[in-house]
């Protein structure tokens, strides 16, 4: 399944364009590598605006919930996406290089057939935490069960081991 929404970004800004919609997580194929499952959907709004320096740009808001994989237990890790960003539109590669020198500015090249869905996917991937884990003690039940079973097995395999050890030292 794939969705796309293509704009000419400079036209979009000129016309003070605004658009909102929903994207199923399932459709964001490049994001799938980071996910536990493909459930959920994201809502987004994109609007064409000029920034305070009169530069054209795209304001992007993305909200929704996705499920990452915990890097410790590989269990489901709910993650909330709540992104707001302003991307300055560079008209040429040179302008893009110039804009990139300013760390406070996020710039993208204004190609005449920009796929907004792909842009949204990029922004989500960039926003993901480098390391994603459950908070301490919240790892998946399977892992806890596994540890518990392991402990029980050890106990039942050597019921008097601790006692013997005690006797020896005395
Ligand atoms: Zn975990």
Residues 119/14, Cβ–Cβ less than 8 Å: no
Average pLDDT over residues 44-70: 96
Q: How far is the CA of 104 from the centre of ligand 1 (A)?
A: 34
Q: What is the pLDDT of residues 4-49, one digit of tens each?
A: 889 999 999 999 999 999 999 999 999 999 999 999 999 999 999 9
Whole-number Å distance between alpha carbons of 83 and 16: 21
Q: Tell me how far the alpha carbon of residue 69 lies from the centroid of ligand 1, in angstroms.
A: 8
Token pair of 161, please?
A: 């081991």
Neighbours of ion ligand 1 (CB under 5 A): 70, 72-73, 75, 134, 139
- Taken as a whole, the chain contains a residue count of 170
Quote the ligand 1 centre to 152 CA distance (angstroms): 22
User: Any idea where the domains of the chain sit in the sequence?
Assistant: 6-136, 140-170
The answer to pTM > 0.85 is no
């Amino acid at each position: 399944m794939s969705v796309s929404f293509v704009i000419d970004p400079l036209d979009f800004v000129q016309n003070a364009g605004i658009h909102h919609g929903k994207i199923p997580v399932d459709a964001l194929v490049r994001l799938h590598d980071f996910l536990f499952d493909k459930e959920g959907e994201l809502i987004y709004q994109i609007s064409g605006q000029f920034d305070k320096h009169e530069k054209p740009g795209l304001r992007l808001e993305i909200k929704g919930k996705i499920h990452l994989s915990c890097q410790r237990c590989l269990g489901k890790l709910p993650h909330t996406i709540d992104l707001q960003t302003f991307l300055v539109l560079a008209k040429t590669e040179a302008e893009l290089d110039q804009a990139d020198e300013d760390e406070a500015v996020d710039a993208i090249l204004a190609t005449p057939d920009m796929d907004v869905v792909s842009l949204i996917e990029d922004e989500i991937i960039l926003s993901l935490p480098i390391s994603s884990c459950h908070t301490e003690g919240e790892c998946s039940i399977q892992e806890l069960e596994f540890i518990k079973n392991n402990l029980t097995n050890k106990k039942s395999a050597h019921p008097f081991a601790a006692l013997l050890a005690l006797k020896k030292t005395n």
